[in-house]
Chains A and B, each alone.
Chain A
Amino acid sequence: MMELLREHKYLQFMLLIAVFLLMCMFVPATDGSWLWRLPPLFKQLPLMINNSVDFLMFEWWLVDVYDPDIEEYEKQPVMRQVTRGISGFILFLIEFVRELILGGVKTIVTFTSWDWATENPWARWPGLPWTVVAGGAAILGYRLSGIGLALFAGFTFVYIAIFGQWEPSMQTLSFVLIAAPMAILIGLALGVCAYKSKTVETILNPLLNIAQIMPHFSYLIPVMVFFGIGDHAGAIATIIFATPPMVRLTLLGLKKVSPEVAEAGRMAGCTDRQLMRRVLIPTARRDILIGVNQVIMQCLAMVVIASLIGAKGLGNDLLIALNRLRIGLALEIGVCIVLIAIVLDRLSLAWANKQTDYFADQSFKQRHKHSIWFMGVFLAGVVLAWIGSLVFKEGFNYLYLIPHNKGLTTGPFWQAGVDWLWDTFFYTLKGFNEWFIVDVLIPVKTAFLAMPVVATFTLAMGTGFIVGGIRSALIVGGYLLFIALTEWWDRALITSYLMTMAVLISGLIGIVAGTLCAQHPRAARWLLVWCDTFQTFPSFIYLIPVMMLFGVTDTSVLIAIVVYATIPAARYTVVGLQSVPEQLHDAGSMAGVNRFQRYLSIELPMSFPHMALGINQTVVFALAMVIIGALIGTDDLGQLILGAISEKQGVGNGLVLGFCVAFIGLAIDQILRTWANQRKAALGLE
């Protein structure tokens, strides 16, 4: 019997489930019983965090700082001076780029003063006509890649301009043009450090996990306390969110560089820096560029959230539009965000792949032809804008800047689309929705809440033990213990219920869609483009149609989560299936299997570890969406995080709640990753 158990993991698992069910049945739900719920020993933790942050920001090391506005010395904490210095620097960069495009006075003020600028009203930096920016983008696209990218970049900017989103789009663009490179550089630097030092890697790993899983809302408040409110704060929150994938992919890429290439570099006489900059990083380029792509996507995915702490631009407009239920307008704004994301991604890719031709013997004119073109476009644009100022007398010069919401609009069309959606599907879906809520969601939720704490621990740690031995069991137990000792265990159970349901659905859809698309290269490519689109498309927009159809219910929450969380499941499935070696296909065909058998017996098992990592990412994405679900209306951790923003101990509550969410993710990550790695090793995939 014991032998049998030791050999068959699934038997162990069955036993575990049996024990778990028995516990669920026989542990009474009595308040005060430790088997049922642990006492909230960490209740004071948020307060402590809050007090420490307050102390650091407001009380620690006070110095007298002269405030010229009120002509008094004020006690200011040093920490605040430091963080405000950083803020000022980032803000300056963003404003500088912004004013290059849109014009303004702040850059001039930085080098003079508000007094001077107020007294000299002529000292304003003029904005560029939109025609010049669009032309410039097209030339850049042409120079970096060719006519295709030129057309696409040009089209994007023209679209933005004629749909009347110029100003907010350029505000968003200037914000991303600073946040994304910073995230990329920081990510690259951290990745390189982690590559060079095992210690750094060990320290960085859990931090990255937490930064990635923790809902961005929960660090908005700390960021606001430390760095204030404005574009810089938005940029900092965005950087925190966007950097982890860059670090990971940099590290992964560097580790994959063959040792001989590194040796070749060293034998060529590279210094350490040359080796890193000119050999290792370029050789690891493929993975690093995926990192860059992820950073850009994440930056634009954060645009809306960042607007809650002061980032100007599309995000804020989107929120205002949604609050009026102007879905058409919101959709147009959403399209602008996605277009900017894709243009930036393609331009950065083209730039990284740009080659120099040493043999083309070029004249001055040829070498500078792009600059000359740009000068031409610039002059033409300025002349057009001047003509425009003569033609359009009513205050709007359409050839200079198409004012906000004065362009074309397709809003009514989309609005009609939503109405059509409702008219067509509502009654069909209503029946489904009611069945789903009454017969599926409510029973599952009740079951989750009826789990005694001891049973939950047994199940989670037991699974950890079966998969990864005592070490995994302890790690998983540690994460759960933290959550169990806060006062939010029940909330965490609800979050887990939502996440479990979402992951089941997303995983199923993602794996099926991924499998179908992987059969055909073109379909696979399309699927990946869809993944990119949905990753950046602000989920806020489809919340409203979804809520229209499914009401303020958990169904809506689930759908919102599923749309986003399916992305990694599909992506990894495609990648996993594509990485099955060709010989195996041939071997299968020679053994006479049909297509379906081949899928079941060869491709599926071989790509299973990849899919497991996809599911792992699905969990991460689902947890990240918990906060979006809360915007519909839930009673889980997400709702509390949302509420933390108005609370006295907001910083502490937000962070501790964020940790709770992150730890749920990390516990699952621990089990899935260990398992996937074992399978990978067993299949000889790594």
Chain B
Amino acid sequence: MSSEASNSNDPVIRCENVFKIFGDNAKRMMKESGGEVDAAKFQEQGCIVGVNNASFDVHPGELLIIMGLSGSGKSTLLRCISRLTDATAGKIFIEGEDILKMNNKQLIQLRRSKMGMVFQSFALLPHKTVLENIAFPLQVKGVSTDDSIKRAGEMMELVSLSGRENYFPRELSGGQQQRVGIARSLAIEPDIWFLDEPFSALDPLIRKEMQDEFLRLQGVLSKTILFVTHDFDEALRLADRIAIMKDGIIEQLDTPANIVLNPATEYVRKFTEEVPREKVLKIETVMDPVNPADPVSDIKVSKDAIIESVAEVVLNSSKPVSVIDSTGAIVGAVHASKVVHLLFGGHSKETSGQLS
């Protein structure tokens, strides 16, 4: 199932044994520990372990979600990678360059050209209008007022806020404010997009709407994305891969389906227990091999489609539905009975047994 293996490009982000420890003597403690960090022992010394030995790659165009409850270190990890905070130990490469070795100037250059970030509390500048907020990263970079305003106007259109250019952030609803935040983070056309719990401060209806908006944008832009959330449903809905963190440690990093089907630890399993399978699993996990003898309906569904999204079609069809891959070739067929079983058949231990 390792989809990233097919993207043989070099990783955009690469973390190697990243640690972040808060406290006055963090550096010294880190040295003495020799790479084995015991959070409890550190705490006795007045140090708090934020990120504990994180290693992973993120590939171009991939959307990696870092999931965890509050205090799990997910935001800290994100800030290490954007170097809003300095990692205590380890290496972080952005497009092959070690950002921990960068000086301030290089870092600013990197942020001005490659990175964008969205914040939980929107973090808009209260004294600037919506338009000025979006133009801000461009102006900081030295783009002329006219050009930056023009570009900001385009971004307003992209996030469907046209007509509110001269509003102040305080005059907008939460969802609208976050649209501004998104537009601002995209204004410089970054390659890497960081989102720190972007939708957590919104009410559930708006959140759903914003997630759709986000997927639409990602469909258009295909950025490399690091997305932090504490909402497992959100993670499942959006992610290419999910990293689940607890106490600074990445418990499991895998595709949504694999996490649901094969939780690596007890902690992860607890998360996945209540998750409805149809919301996570793709059609290919329930399809049968093509049997030329079987009558197949004319309807075709993609093998990557989430079961929930096509369930109605499959169930309404009197005959099995064909499954096609991205090239359009038929790779299998789905029987309604299988979908019914998945939807209503209780726990799917047996389903998982069939897989992998």
- The residues of A with any CB-CB pair to B shorter than 8 Å are 258, 260-261, 263-272, 274, 278-279, 282-283, 285, 355, 357-359
Shortest Cβ distance from residue A30 to the other chain B in the assembled complex, whole angstroms: 54
- Known contacts A267-B111, A359-B165; is-contact A283 B117 (Cβ 8 Å): no
> A280's closest neighbor in chain B, by CB?
B125
Q: Which residues of B contact A271 (CB under 8 A)?
A: 104, 108
Contact (Cβ within 8 A) B119 A283: no
**Cα distance, A642 to B140, chains bound together (Å):** 54
Residues of chain A within 8 A of B340, CB atoms compared: none
A260 touches B121 (CB 8 A): yes
CA distance A285 to B188 in the complex (A): 27
- A267 is contacted by which of B109, B116, B124, B149 (Cβ under 8 Å)? B116
Q: Is the CB of B127 within 8 A of A268?
A: no
Q: Cβ of A270: which chain B residues have Cβ within 8 Å of it?
A: 108, 140
Given contacts A258-B121, A260-B119, A263-B84, contact A269 B140 (CB under 8 A): yes
Which residues of chain A are near B121, meaning CB under 8 Å?
A: 258, 260
State how many angstroms separate the Cβ of A284 from the closest Cβ of chain B.
10
| Interface residue B166 (Cβ < 8 Å from any Cβ of A) | yes
B24 to chain A, nearest CB (A): 13
The residues of B that contact A358 with a CB separation of less than 8 Å are: 131, 145, 149, 165
> A285 to B112, alpha carbons, bound, how many Å?
26
| B141 → A minimal CB distance (Å) | 6
Partner of A283, one of B108, B127, B140: B127
A282-B127 CB under 8 A given contacts A263-B84, A269-B111, A269-B112: yes
- B176 proximal to A (CB < 8 A): no
Which of A260, A264, A268, A357: most chain B Cβ within 10 A? A268
In the assembled complex, the CB of A398 is this many whole angstroms from the nearest CB of chain B, namely 45
Could you list 30 A-B pairs, sorted by A, with CB under 8 Å?
Answer: A258-B121, A261-B123, A261-B125, A263-B84, A263-B117, A263-B123, A264-B119, A264-B123, A264-B124, A264-B125, A264-B184, A266-B111, A267-B84, A267-B111, A267-B115, A267-B117, A268-B111, A268-B137, A269-B109, A269-B111, A270-B140, A271-B104, A272-B104, A274-B140, A278-B136, A282-B125, A285-B126, A355-B166, A358-B131, A358-B165
A residues within 8 A CB of B116? 267
Nearest-neighbour CB distance to chain A for B351, whole angstroms, equals 42
Q: How far is the CB of B25 from chain A (nearest CB, A)?
A: 18
Say yes or no: A258-B123 contact (C-beta < 8 A), given A268-B140, A269-B137, A270-B140: yes
A237 to B108, CA, bound (A): 42
Q: Complex Cα distance A340/B266, Å?
A: 72
Determine the distance from Cα of A264 to Cα of B79 in the docked complex, in whole angstroms: 11
Q: Would A283 and B125 be within 8 Å (CB), given that A266-B84, A269-B112 are in contact?
A: yes
B258 interface contact, C-beta 8 A = no
Hey, which chain B residues are within 8 Å of A267, CB to CB? Answer: 82, 84, 111, 115-117, 185, 194
Complex CA–CA separation, A266 to B125 (angstroms)? 13
What distance in Å separates the Cβ of B193 from its nearest Cβ neighbour in chain A? Answer: 11
B313–chain A nearest beta-carbon distance, Å: 43
Task: Say yes or no for B129: interface residue by CB 8 A criterion.
Answer: yes
Query: How far apart are the CA atoms of A264 and B183 in the complex, in Å?
Result: 13
Look across to chain A and name the residue whose beta carbon is closest to the beta carbon of B168.
A355
Chain B residues within CB distance 8 Å of chain A? 79, 82, 84, 104, 108-109, 111-112, 115-117, 119-121, 123-129, 131, 136-137, 140-141, 145, 149, 165-166, 181, 184-185, 188, 194
A-B pairs with lowest CB-CB distance, top 6: A269-B112, A264-B123, A268-B137, A260-B123, A267-B117, A269-B111
For residue A359, which residue of chain B has the nearest CB? Answer: B165
**Minimum CB–CB distance for A275 against chain B, Å:** 9
Main secondary structure of the interface of B (DSSP, over half): mixed
Cβ of A260: which chain B residues have Cβ within 8 Å of it? 119-121, 123
Q: How far is the CA of A558 from the CA of B145 in the complex (A)?
A: 58
Bound CA span A266–B115, Å? 11
Nearest Cβ on chain A to B234's Cβ, whole angstroms: 19
Contact residues in A for B185 (Cβ distance below 8 Å): 267
- Complex: how many Å from CA A581 to CA B288? 62
Nearest CB on A from B169, distance (A): 11
In the complex, what residue of chain B is closest to A266 when comparing beta carbons?
A: B84
Q: Enumerate chain B residues within 8 angstroms of A269, measured Cβ to Cβ.
A: 108-109, 111-112, 137, 140-141, 188
The chain B residue sitting closest to A358, CB to CB, is B149
Min CB distance B277 to A, Å, is 36
CB distance A285 to B127 under 8 Å? yes
Q: Smallest distance from the beta carbon of B112 to chain A beta carbons, Å? A: 3
Asked whether, in the complex, the Cβ of A268 is within 8 Å of the Cβ of B123, the reply is: no
Q: Which residue of B lies closest to A355 (CB)?
A: B129
How far apart are A431's CB and chain B's nearest CB, in angstroms?
Answer: 57
Assess A279 versus B125: contact at CB under 8 Å? Given A266-B111, A268-B184. yes
Of B124, B125, B129, chain A has the most CB atoms within 10 Å of the CB of B125
Residues of B with C-beta under 8 A to A279? 125
Minimum CB distance partner of B187 in chain A? A268
4 other A-B residue contacts (CB within 8 Å) besides A267-B111, A269-B137, A270-B108:
A260-B121, A264-B124, A267-B194, A278-B140
- The answer for the CA separation of A654 and B54 in the assembled complex, in Å, is 64
- Residues from chain A with a CB closer than 8 A to the CB of B165 are 358-359
Contacting pair A357 B166 (CB below 8 A): yes
Q: What B residues does A272 contact at CB under 8 A?
A: 104
B160 to chain A, nearest CB (A): 19
A267 to B108, CA, bound (A): 8
Instruction: State in angstroms the CA–CA spacing of A260 and B79 once bound together.
Output: 11
B117 surroundings in chain A (CB, below 8 A): 263-264, 267
Name the contact of A263 in the complex, choosing from B119, B137, B166, B184 (C-beta under 8 A).
B119
Chain A residue nearest in CB terms to B138? A268
Determine the distance from Cα of A279 to Cα of B126 in the docked complex, in whole angstroms.
Answer: 9
Q: Which residues of A contact B126 (CB under 8 A)?
A: 282-283, 285
B82 proximity list for chain A (CB < 8 A) = 267
Q: With a CB–CB cut-off of 8 A, which chain B residues contact A285?
A: 126-127
Question: B149 to chain A: which residues have CB within 8 Å?
Answer: 358
Q: How far is the CB of A261 from chain B (nearest CB, A)?
A: 5
Query: In the complex, what distance in Å separates the CA atom of A268 from the CA atom of B129?
Result: 16
Query: CB-nearest residue of chain A relative to B181?
Result: A264
A256 to chain B, nearest CB (A): 12
Alpha-carbon gap, A359 to B146, bound state (A) = 10
Q: How far is the CB of B250 from chain A (nearest CB, A)?
A: 23
Interchain CA distance A118-B316 in the complex, whole Å: 106
Residues of the A chain whose Cβ atoms lie less than 8 Å from the Cβ of B108: 269-271
A391: shortest Cβ distance to chain B, in Å?
A: 50
- A283 to B126 CA separation, bound complex (whole angstroms): 6
Q: For the complex, give the distance between the alpha carbons of A266 and B194 in Å.
A: 13
A272-B140 Cα distance, complex, nearest whole Å: 11
Distance between B240 CB and nearest chain A CB, rounded to angstroms: 23
Q: How far is the CA of A263 from the CA of B84 in the complex (A)?
A: 7
Q: Distance in Å from the Cβ of B325 to the closest Cβ of chain A?
A: 39
In the complex, what residues of A have CB within 8 A of residue B140's CB?
268-270, 274, 278
Whole-angstrom distance from the CB of A150 to the nearest CB of chain B? 23
Using Cβ atoms and an 8 Å threshold, which residues of chain B touch A282? 125-128
A415 to B124, CA, bound (A): 56
What's the least CB distance linking A222 to chain B, in Å?
Answer: 40
With A and B bound together, what is the CA distance between A246 and B79 in angstroms? 33
Q: Which of A260, A274, A279 has the most B CB atoms < 10 Å from its CB? A: A260
Bound-state CA distance A265–B140 (Å) is 9
CB distance from B104 to the nearest CB of A (A): 8
Q: Which residue of B is nearest A281, CB measured?
A: B127
Bound complex: CA A358 to CA B133 (Å): 13
B194: A residues at CB distance < 8 A: 267
When distances are taken between beta carbons in the complex, the residues of chain B under 8 Å from A263 are 79, 84, 117, 119, 123
- The CA-CA distance from A359 to B123 in the complex, in Å, is 25
A480 to chain B, nearest CB (A): 36
Q: How many angstroms from the CA of A258 to the CA of B109 in the assembled complex?
A: 24
Task: Write the nearest CB–CB distance from A321 to chain B, whole angstroms.
Answer: 44
How far does the alpha carbon of A236 sit from the alpha carbon of B131 in the complex, in Å? 42
CB-CB under 8 A from A258, the residues of chain B are 121, 123
Separation in Å of the B261 CB from the closest CB of chain A? 36
